[in-house]
Structure 1
Amino acid sequence: MNSDGVAGGEPLTDGKWAGWAGWSDPHPDTFLQAIGRGYMRGVGPTSAQVALETRPSHRNRLDTLHGGFLAAFADHAYFGALWAMGHKAQIGGVTIDLNMQYLGVGRVGPDLLAEVELLRETGRLMFLRMLITQEGEPVAASSATVRKAPAAR
């Protein structure tokens, strides 16, 4: 675990996620355990990518990715993306609103990729949007507002 309270954080050096930073919660009994370990990388000062390997526990009774899981992944991906963009203190922020638009059927097996963009930042808020794809096909789009973590005193 690094000083941000994030397990991992350093870029991985081998395997399919080489060049990405791993993201997992160091606490064993949190909701993040249901989502799984994510991978993130900054793409620019206002954009990042967050990826996740899908697994059978993410499916619904139709054998496709559950919409609630996709929304939870989106919420997770916003904070991973902010971390990857260099806003590391914001992992202590909170989601004010999260909107989802489901664009296609997600399948168990292929990795999810969230492309996240920071649209605007004010003194207390960050406005973001993302597109979630699987194998290049859109699965969902999202927008969110994050209230920044209180400044350390």
Structure 2
Amino acid sequence: MSAARFLSEPDPENPGWHTWALSDSTRFNSVLGKMILRLDPDGQARIRMFPAHIHSNLSNNVHGGTTLAFIDVSLFAASRLFGLIDPGTSVTLDLSTHFIGAGKVDEPLDAVVELLRETGRLLFLRGLIVQGDHTVASFAGTIRKPGKAA
């Protein structure tokens, strides 16, 4: 059996949340920094990142590329939290995003994700990127689940 690709354990700094990190910190996801996640009582997944200066644009807001990367990673973190995939074994087929407002640096940024439908090979998801009551972006994406090993 291979080593775990993702590390997830209770986060002592945030009761009720679990950490979400690649076991290999030299891969792309690590550029987003610390991420935590939980399943909300309404059944939606909530994934949180903590934007810092490295995630900012020249207006000192969260860079759109950071937001897009966070959304993509959140689709997989949510799907794993829903118990639908194993981490690192699926691919994004499409991702549609509408930027609605600026994200602030140094304030937690949440992806709130819901599953719309699951088929044999596909997951259809949508969600919002929020900071408190402020909406930063909306998104919808499709993930292809892995095929069965031969």
What's the TM-score once normalised by structure 2's chain length?
A: 0.91
Answer yes or no: is 1:51 the counterpart of 2:10: no
Percent of matched pairs sharing the same residue: 34
Question: Counterpart in 2 of 1:6?
Answer: 6
CA distance in structure 2 between the aligned counterparts of 1:87 and 1:63, rounded to whole angstroms: 37
Question: Counterpart in 1 of 2:91?
Answer: 94
Deviations 1:67-107 (A, max 9, x none): 11100000011111111112242541100001110010111
Answer yes or no: is 1:61 the counterpart of 2:58: yes
- Further displaced range: 83-92 or 72-81: 83-92
Among 36, 40, 46, which residue is 1:39 paired with? 36
CA distance in structure 2 between the aligned counterparts of 1:115 and 1:3, rounded to whole angstroms: 29
Q: What is the letter of the counterpart of residue 32 of structure 2?
A: I
Deviations 1:24-67 (A, max 9, x none): 11113211121112111123695211111111100011111111
CA distance in structure 2 between the aligned counterparts of 1:90 and 1:23, rounded to whole angstroms: 10
Q: Is the 8 A contact 1:4 1:88 kept in 2?
A: no
- Further displaced range: 37-46 or 23-32: 37-46
What's the TM-score once normalised by structure 1's chain length?
A: 0.89
Q: Structure 1: which 5+ residue stretches go unaligned?
A: none
Q: What is the letter of the counterpart of residue 106 of structure 2?
A: G
Answer yes or no: is 1:110 the counterpart of 2:107: yes
CA distance in structure 2 between the aligned counterparts of 1:105 and 1:38, rounded to whole angstroms: 20
Q: What is the letter of the counterpart of residue 97 of structure 1?
A: D
- Further displaced range: 119-128 or 82-91: 82-91
Deviations 1:112-133 (A, max 9, x none): 0111000001111100001010
CA distance in structure 1 between the aligned counterparts of 2:76 and 2:145, rounded to whole angstroms: 11
Alignment: residue pair count: 149
